[in-house]
Every structure is written in structure tokens, then in C-alpha cells.
Chain A
Amino acid sequence: MKINGKDLSRTYYRRSEGSNIFTAVKDVNIELSPGELLEITGRSGSGKSTVLNMLAGLLTPSSGTVLYDDLDIYGLEDKERSAFRNEHTGVIPQGQTALSSITVLENVLLPARLYNREASEDDAMELLSFVGIEGLKDVYPDQLSGGEMRRLSIARALINRPSVLLADEPTGDLDDENTKVVLSLLRNTADKGTAVLLVTHEEDAREYADRVLKMNGGILKEY
């Protein structure tokens, strides 16, 4: 599945002494193809995550469209868009994102269970094995390290075999060893045919990416 973000802008209203309108992202055009690992880099607050969230269907653009193949996802009602996201998109949000009330295995199965999809425990175990934490399937997330938590997020994002994987700072606050593990997992995922968008300011990520774009002041440019 190909993603095409056209003329994406996002503005926020805020009370300030100058203009009350803050433009986080301005006229961004972006394409992501199956099997491609696209990296967006840039400083904190440059608008990288805003672009990712708009592409994920989680943040309505102030203007512009997001097309999955020919489908404008913001033309869908919330219920339909949510179901679409569940089926076609895997999102790895920033920070610690596991649900603390369920085990690692249940966390991985969560996206499938939301819509009674067919993913079995075997599928989940296979993914846990892929990310290297199969021995932790029965523990609760509060017993995981930062690196293990990120690997859990990757496994969870892949459980429905999405066409698109959107990863927001998946290596933030990880040590070098875990950073390499996570980036390798994303590369492997892209190699299997998934379109992967990686938002990061990790220098080492470039060697894993097919293409790198840079975000600066809400404007996206070739790196």
C-alpha cells in the first residue's frame, strides 16, 4: 500500500502576544512506498511527529489530504478510519506505550483482539521471537526495560501484518546496543514489503534508511 501525503499543513491556536496561530507543519508533500524505509529527521519541535500522526490518521490536517492508495482516510468516519488503521497501519508511538494491566503477550495481541482478527498466540509468539523477547511473554510491562518495551511496541505494531509501519522516535533513550536492534528490526520489516516511516533524530538511522528527509520549522526537504 502506498501512502501519499499532499500539501499537508497543521496549525494550532494558542494565546500569545504575537500571532495566535502557530504553524507546526506547512505544505508537506510526502510519499511512502511498499518495502521502503523512509527516515524523517530533524530537531525536536520541527514537526516530524505531527507529520507522522497526520499520516497515521491520528491528527486531522488543517489542510491537505492523506491517501492510502486512492483512499482519503480523513474522508472516513472515526469508526471506519479506526478500523482501517487497525487493519493496514502499525503505529509505534513515542515513549513507553504498553498497557500496564495486561501481559506482554496480551499487549502484542491487543490490536488483533480489538477487531476479533485471526491472529493467534502462535503469531504473537513468532513476533516476540522476531524482536527477541519471547521469554517475557507472561510478564507485565512494568517489569520490562526501555529496550524491551520498544521491542514490544514493534511486535504489537506488526501483529495485524500491516502494509504501513509508522515509528515515532522508536530508539529514543535507548542505549547503542538496543538502538541497533530496533533499527535492524525496522529494516527487516521493510525488507519484507512493509512501507516503513521512521521519525528520529538518531544519527545512526541513516544507514538503515532507503531515503532520508529533513524537517525544519515545519517544512520538509530532502536531506
Chain B
Amino acid sequence: MNFIKSLSFKNLKRKPGRTIALVLLSAFLAFSVFGGSVVVLSLRNGLKSYEARLGADIVVIPNQARSKGTLDSILLQGIPGYFYMDNAYYEKIKEREGVDIASPQFFLASASSGCCSVPVQIIGFDPETDFSIQPWIQESYKDTISDNDIVVGSNITIPVNKKLTFYDLECDVVSKLSPTGTGLDNAVYANMDTIKQMMQNASDLGFDYFEGTSPDSAVSAVMIKVEDGYSIEDVNNDINIHVRRVTSTPARSMISGIAGGLEGVSGTITVIVVLVWILGIIILIVAFAMISNERTKEFAILRTMGASRKMLSGLLKWESFLIGLAGSVAGVLLASLVIFPFAGIIRNKLDLPYLLPGIGTIILLALGAVIISVGAGLIASRISSSRTVKNETGLILREGA
């Protein structure tokens, strides 16, 4: 380390109050830019993931579940729920013109009583027709999901014996899915035969979920892929008009509501981060200007010893760099301590899909936050100290004597 760097370090060390105040300010800037960008990116990731996992053009649910909240609370928030319609509706829907693939899904909420290991959402799919859940499962499990096999969402803890019981049906946990940042991470997945068995057992155990529908013929939702050449809106309208007691919704409109919410939250976060930065930069410039003024005599003394203007700039640059580096690293670490351990709480509070980016992206964001914060400190320092450095030493000595 050359002498100027060493002197910078000593200056900071000998003025702990001033140094800590500037480090905190820099940490605040890094915290806001890193924390804000991770949250915004997590929301965008969550939306993408939700879109991918939904996988359908149209979702049909029984009228009794048309309050979108029921489906949203299962899919987004992971709150266990259920609703059913008779299989006959599925048969009608799949015959409608423009429907390419129609696949039934079955939702069952496990009970918190002794018949079930954990209270979770259970989602069943028909292996013959499913096009949304199986591609996702295949990312982590290549084999077929056999009867009494289940796959669990990323938030579900797998027991040591890899067995979970739902409505007295003991199942083997064969895999864990990659996270989606949605309520789907809190669900378990089974094929149609397995979930039908669970539904039958639930009925036999006296759980009155089915409201007159036979568990054997109950369907919760129908996921639809529209045939090429047909418009999603037209097929959706056709189902709503011709199939009674069901509600058909284009997946895009389900997502657009979430996207709207996401844009609102992202916009608010961005505005807050920008305001924090404007305020932070102004405070930094004022703080550095005050410090430069306070140190005018010190710089003049260094000039009498032969320090060039470039050396003085270098000294300030190093001090600003060390402050910025310490502050931004602290800010990023602090933001990490808030954002990562409390990701679940943040997701629940925002009520939106929230999927943290991968470690590579997080490291890049952290580096970006550090670079931007250090850069802001350097620029603030340069702006505020340029006059001090350029002053004629003789004048300063004359004024300050």
C-alpha cells in the first residue's frame, strides 16, 4: 500500500465519528439499491414462474369457486382449499370447439387431524392429459409418478423415512420440486388415482368436502390448451356461454391482475429507491463538502510539504473509496440479512408471486450495488472537494493562519 493509501486509512481511523457517519450513509444507499433490486427482481421472477407453472391458456373452475380469491389463495398464497364439480363438466368442456387439450386437476386440503402428516394443499393431475404439472416435475424427477407416489413443493420438509400420510393413505415422497415463489411451493402433487383414493378416504372418514358430488367423479379445475387457429377469448366465451355452473378464465387475465399488482409494487419500490438515492447523494455531497472545508488547512499543510493537487485528490479518493466500500458491503450484508431469511414474510405481505433470483444473479446485484455506491461516494467527494483541492495554498494559509 503506498503512502497516500496508508494516510487515508489512518485519517479514517483517527476520526471514527466522521467515518462511521459516512459509512452508515453509504450503507444506506447500498441497502436500498440492493434490497430494492432483489425484491423487484424476485417479483418479476415470481410472475414468470407462476406463468410457466400455470401453463394453460384457460382455467375452468366451478361457479362456487369463482371468487378468484379461492383459486388465487391456493395457487399464490398456498392456503389449502378445495372446490369440486362433477366430471361431466370436464367431459363437456373437452368437447367444446377450439379446445386442444383439457386436463382435469383435483384440489384437496389435507386435514390437521391424525389422518394426515402435515396440513398442506394436495393437487392431483391426470397423467394422460396433464401438460402443466408433469413438465415441471420432470425437471427434478424423470420417472413416472406411480400410484401412492407424491412429489412435494420446495417448501415442504421431507421426513427421514420419505413417507407422508394423507387421509390414512401412506405415500412415498419421490422428489422435491424446484421453487416457484408461489403457493405451489407449499403443495404436494399426486397422480389422479392417488388423489382419488385420498378423496374417497376423506369422504369415508366423514370430511364433508364434496357437497353432493361423488369423490370418484369430482373434479376441481380444468386446464385448457387452445387449438392453433382459435382465439383464447373466443374459446373462453364459448365455454362460459355453453357450459353452465362453471367459470372459465383466460390464464392471461389471471396473470395480468398479478402483473398489475407487481408493477404497482415495483414502481413504489423504484420511487422509494430513487428518492433515497437523491437524498443520499445530496447528503453525501454536503457531508464531503463540510469535511473538505474542515480539512482545508490540513490540505494546505500537505501542499507546503510538496503534495501535489493530484496527491490530495488521490487522498480524498482513497478515503471516499474506503468509506464507500465499507459502507456498501455493510449495506449489502444488512439487506441480505433482511431479504433472504424473511423472504417468506415479504412474499406473504406483498401477496404476489415472489421467487428469489439465483445465487449468480444475487452476486451480480451485490457487486452492482457496491460499485454504484462506491461510485456515488467518489463522485460526491470529487464534486465537493474540487474547489478545496484547486485553492491556492498561500491564500488558505493566509486566511487560516
Contacts of B303 in A (CB 8 A): 58, 82
Is B387's beta carbon under 8 Å from chain A?
Answer: no
Bound CA–CA A156/B304 (angstroms): 11
8 Å CB interface, B15-71 against A: 15
Main DSSP-derived SS at the B contact region: helix
- Checking B3, B15, B300 against A101 with a beta-carbon cut-off of 8 angstroms, the contacting residue is B15
8 Å CB interface, A34-81 against B: 49-50, 53-54, 56, 58-60, 78-79
8 Å CB interface, A167-222 against B: 168-169
Which one of B117-125, B144-152, B261-269, B391-399 is at the A interface?
B391-399
Most buried by A among B13, B302, B305: B305
8 Å CB interface, B364-401 against A: 392-395, 397-398, 400-401
Contacts of B13 in A (CB 8 A): 101
Bound CA–CA A56/B302 (angstroms): 13
Q: Are B401 and A95 in contact (CB under 8 A)?
A: yes
Q: Are A114 and B304 in contact (CB under 8 A)?
A: no
Bound CA–CA A194/B229 (angstroms): 98
Bound CA–CA A125/B309 (angstroms): 29
Q: Are B306 and A50 in contact (CB under 8 A)?
A: no
Tell me the nearest residue of chain A to B395, going by C-beta. Answer: A59
Tell me, rounded to whole Å, the shortest Cβ–Cβ distance linking A89 to chain B: 8
Q: Are A102 and B7 in contact (CB under 8 A)?
A: yes
- Checking A59, A87, A140 against B394 with a beta-carbon cut-off of 8 angstroms, the contacting residue is A59
Contacts of A50 in B (CB 8 A): 394, 398
Tell me the nearest residue of chain A to B306, going by C-beta. Answer: A86
Is B217's beta carbon under 8 Å from chain A?
Answer: no
Is A97's beta carbon under 8 Å from chain B?
Answer: yes
Bound CA–CA A21/B15 (angstroms): 41
Q: Are B394 and A83 in contact (CB under 8 A)?
A: no
Tell me, rounded to whole Å, the shortest Cβ–Cβ distance linking B318 to chain A: 13
Bound CA–CA A94/B303 (angstroms): 14
- Checking A86, A87, A97 against B301 with a beta-carbon cut-off of 8 angstroms, the contacting residue is A97
Most buried by A among B7, B10, B304, B392: B304
List the interface of chain B (C-beta within 8 A of A): 2-4, 7, 10-11, 13-15, 297-298, 300-311, 392-395, 397-398, 400-401
Q: A-B pairs with the 3 shortest C-beta distances?
A: A86-B306, A59-B394, A53-B394
Can you name 7 A-B residue pairings with CB atoms under 8 Å? A49-B401, A79-B309, A82-B311, A91-B305, A101-B13, A114-B302, A169-B401
